[in-house]
Copies of this chain bind each other. A is one copy, B any other.
C-alpha cells in the first residue's frame, strides 16, 4: 500500500559514495517506492564545490549543509562526508530535531558515538551505520539484531582493503612493503596520504564500533590498541609462508576472562594466520569478518569492503529501513551499552609470538634462548633451526603469554651473546 506522503532525504557529501547514493535514489526511485510504500525524494545535496557535480540537478546542490540538515523536509539525513567536524555538529542538529540519520562515518562513531546515540534517543530519532564498517557487507545489522539474543565471544576481521591489498601483494610477489604501497597508490587502492590505512587508524575506528555493538559496551577509538603494517617486512612474510601461514592486518575484538571479571580486548595489528583459516584466503581489496558466538558458533561475512557503489548499497539499505520505519511507525535498535565491560590493556592480552633469530652456529644456542624464555615464564610451542655457519636461523613459536611479557622477553633475546639479530617478530593465531 503506497503512502500519500513523500520521504525527504538530505545528502551530505557527493564524493565517491555520495554520488552513487544520489544516482541510485533517482535511478531506482520506483523500485524503492514499491519496497517502502512511499516515495523517496532527494531534498538537497550538500557539497563543497558545486561546479563538480553536474550530474546532480542544480536546484538540489547546496554549499550550506547547516541549513540542509535543519530543513524539516529532510526526514532522513545521509552523511558521507567523513571526518569529525563538521559532520558531528551537522548530525547532532539533525538528530535533535528528530530526523533519522544514516552515516558511513566510522571515525565519528568511534570518537563520539555515544553522544550521537544520546541525541537520537532523546528525540526518538534513529542512527544507523551499516556502511561504516566493511562497506557493502551486512554486518552491523546482523550483529545488532540477528545476534542480539546470543553472546558474542570474538569478532576478527579484515576491515581495511588498502592494507589487505598491500599484504596480499607482498605475499604473492615477495615485494617489500614500500614497493607494495607504491603499487597500491598507483592503482588507487591507497590514498596519496595512506596514514589512516597503513597506520591502522581506519581499522581501529572499525574495531571500536564492532566491539561496542558486539559486546554492548562503549569502546572509544582511543581504547583500541593500534599497530599498523609499515613494519611488516618481506622477511616476516617469507617466515609466515615457510610454516604455511599468511600475514593479515586484523581488527580483533574478544571477550576475555580476567581475575576482575569479564573484559574486552580490542586491537588492530598484523598477525600470522594459518592458510586453513577462513580469513587467510581473503585477498586484495575484499573484506571479511569472522564472528564467534556462544550459540551461533562460527560465522563469516565476506564482500567488497569499500568503493562507491558497494558502500552506497549499504547506505541505501539503511535509508529504506529508516523510510519503512517512518511509514509503519517504529525505530531501529537504540544504543546497547549495558554490559560496560572494561577494556583490557594490550600488555595483559594473551598472545603468541613467532620469532626468527639470526644465531651463532654452535652448541648451546637453543639452551640459551629457551632458558631466557623460560626465565620469563614463556614456554615454547615449536622450534626449528635452519641453515648453519653465518646463516644459522632459529625459528620459534611461543605458547600463549601476556603480550607485554612476550614483547619484553623477545627484546631481551637480542642481548644474548649467541643471538646476532632478531629478524622477525609477529603475533600468530592459535591453530583453528
Give A contacts to B, CB under 8 Å: 20, 24, 28, 31-32, 34-35, 37, 130, 136-138, 141-142, 145-151, 216, 278, 281, 293-304, 307, 309-310, 312-321, 324-325, 328-331, 333-334, 336, 338-339
Contact status B295-A149, CB under 8 Å: no
**A314 and B35 in contact (CB under 8 A), knowing A297-B304, A303-B296, A328-B331?**
no
**A295 and B321 in contact (CB under 8 A), knowing A24-B149, A35-B148?**
no
What distance in Å separates the Cβ of A73 from its nearest Cβ neighbour in chain B?
20
What distance in Å separates the Cβ of A164 from its nearest Cβ neighbour in chain B?
15
Provide a sorted-by-A list of 26 A–B residue pairs whose CB atoms are within 8 angstroms.
Answer: A20-B295, A24-B149, A28-B151, A31-B339, A130-B146, A136-B293, A136-B299, A138-B138, A138-B142, A138-B299, A141-B145, A145-B320, A146-B314, A146-B317, A148-B316, A148-B321, A149-B315, A294-B309, A295-B312, A296-B314, A297-B303, A297-B309, A297-B310, A300-B302, A324-B333, A330-B330
Contact status B141-A146, CB under 8 Å: yes
Q: How far is the CA of A315 from the CA of B150 in the complex (A)?
A: 10
Q: How far is the CA of A146 from the CA of B133 in the complex (A)?
A: 13
At the interface, is chain A mostly helix, strand, loop or mixed? mixed
Contact status B329-A331, CB under 8 Å: yes
What distance in Å separates the Cβ of A62 from its nearest Cβ neighbour in chain B?
23
A312 surroundings in chain B (CB, below 8 A): 295
Contact status B145-A321, CB under 8 Å: yes
A281 surroundings in chain B (CB, below 8 A): 281
Contact status B336-A35, CB under 8 Å: yes
A149 surroundings in chain B (CB, below 8 A): 24, 28, 32, 313, 315-320
What distance in Å separates the Cβ of A369 from its nearest Cβ neighbour in chain B?
38
Pick from B136, B295, B315: contact of A136, CB under 8 Å: B295
A313 surroundings in chain B (CB, below 8 A): 147, 149-150, 293, 295-296
A324 surroundings in chain B (CB, below 8 A): 148, 333-334
Contact status A317-B31, CB under 8 Å: no
Pick from B148, B295, B303, B309: contact of A300, CB under 8 Å: B303
Q: How far is the CA of A32 from the CA of B151 in the complex (A)?
A: 10
A314 surroundings in chain B (CB, below 8 A): 146, 296
Contact status A317-B138, CB under 8 Å: no
A138 surroundings in chain B (CB, below 8 A): 138, 141-142, 145-147, 299
**A296 and B146 in contact (CB under 8 A), knowing A325-B330, A338-B34?**
no
Contact status A150-B316, CB under 8 Å: yes
What distance in Å separates the Cβ of A241 from its nearest Cβ neighbour in chain B?
20
Contact status B320-A296, CB under 8 Å: no
Q: How far is the CA of A100 from the CA of B281 in the complex (A)?
A: 41
What distance in Å separates the Cβ of A36 from its nearest Cβ neighbour in chain B?
8
A146 surroundings in chain B (CB, below 8 A): 130, 138, 141-142, 314, 317
A321 surroundings in chain B (CB, below 8 A): 145, 148, 333
Interface centre among A296, A319, A329 (most CB of B within 10 A): A296
